[in-house]
């Protein structure tokens, strides 16, 4: 069971960029609520975000490398083409967000729920996922190579043309998802759960011809 974010009393603030500039010594954003904001080029490397809600915010092309997020709700936010490489997530929700083209290389994601979110062209390679659910989301053309997937659920997701090289798929259930054109290593397909139509599609990777 995914542990949900624990949100306590919040202070409404009106600029994430200003808060970051004011927290240069302790590198922590805590107990804050951000709503209806649009700021580009946020530089938040190594910052810790705790007990926060971000709603209807746009922070495209921003840098959150090595940042840590715990007890966070992102709702209707746009982080397109931002950098979350080596970031950590625990008890985090992304609801109806846009993460198109984001870099999550070597990120660690625990107790995370993602719903109705655009993850097209996202790079999740070398990341670790544990106790994660991704539902009704678009991961088309994503890269999930050499990732560690444990207790992860995909429900009604678009994984078309995604790359999953060297990612073990044992016990992963793709049966409600679209997986046309996915690129995988044959050895990693063992134990993958699919429906009969997907099985026909995957048979092409094995060079089988079905009459």
Beta carbons of 137 and 115 less than 8 angstroms apart = yes
Rg (CA), the chain: 18
pLDDT of residue 125: 97
- DSSP label at 82? -
Both structure tokens of 187: 């050895």
Does residue 13 surpass a pLDDT of 80? yes
Burial grade of 187 (CB within 10 A; 0-12, 13-18, 19 or more)? exposed
Query: Whole-angstrom Cα distance, residue 135 to residue 180?
Result: 18
Higher pLDDT, 208 or 190: 190
Say what percent of the chain tops pLDDT 70. Answer: 96
Query: Whole-angstrom Cα distance, residue 191 to residue 5?
Result: 32
Cβ atoms within 10 A of the Cβ of 210, count? 7
Beta carbons of 33 and 13 less than 8 angstroms apart = yes
26 pLDDT band (50/70/90 cuts)?
confident
207 pLDDT band (50/70/90 cuts)?
low
Helix/strand/coil for 174: coil
> Which secondary structure element, helix H or strand E, spans residue 196, and what is its range?
helix 196-203
Beta carbons of 24 and 46 less than 8 angstroms apart = no
The phi, psi pair for 78, rounded to 5°, reads -120, 115
pLDDT of residue 206: 63
pLDDT of residue 201: 77
Q: Which residue has the tokens 């444990």?
A: 150
CATH superfamily of 11-118: E3 ubiquitin-protein ligase SopA (2.160.20.80)
Least confident of 70-79, 133-142, 182-191: 182-191
Say what percent of the chain tops pLDDT 90. Answer: 83
pLDDT of residue 168: 94
Helix/strand/coil for 111: strand
Does residue 208 surpass a pLDDT of 50? no
Q: Name the residue among 146, 104, 64, 106 with its Cα closest to residue 134.
A: 104
Beta carbons of 39 and 13 less than 8 angstroms apart = no
Q: Which residue has the tokens 């995957």?
A: 202
Average pLDDT over residues 101-105: 98
Both structure tokens of 52: 């926060």
Cβ atoms within 10 A of the Cβ of 106, count? 18
Q: For the chain, what is the mean pLDDT?
A: 93
């Amino acid at each position: 069971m995914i542990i949900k974010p624990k949100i306590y009393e919040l202070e409404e603030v009106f600029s994430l960029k200003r808060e970051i500039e004011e927290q240069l010594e302790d590198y922590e954003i805590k107990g804050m609520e951000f709503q209806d904001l649009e700021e580009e080029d946020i530089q938040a490397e190594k910052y810790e975000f705790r007990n926060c809600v971000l709603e209807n915010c746009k922070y495209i092309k921003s840098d959150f490398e090595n940042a840590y997020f715990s007890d966070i709700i992102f709702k209707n936010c746009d982080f397109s083409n931002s950098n979350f490489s080596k970031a950590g997530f625990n008890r985090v929700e992304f609801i109806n967000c846009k993460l198109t083209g984001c870099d999550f290389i070597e990120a660690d994601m625990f107790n995370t729920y993602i719903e109705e979110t655009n993850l097209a062209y996202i790079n999740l390679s070398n990341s670790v996922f544990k106790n994660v659910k991704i539902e009704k989301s678009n991961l088309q053309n994503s890269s999930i190579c050499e990732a560690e997937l444990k207790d992860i659920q995909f429900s009604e997701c678009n994984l078309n043309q995604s790359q999953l090289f060297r990612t073990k798929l044992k016990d992963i259930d793709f049966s409600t998802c679209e997986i046309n054109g996915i690129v995988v290593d044959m050895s990693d397909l063992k134990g993958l759960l699919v429906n009969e139509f997907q099985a026909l599609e995957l048979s092409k990777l094995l060079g089988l011809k079905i009459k």
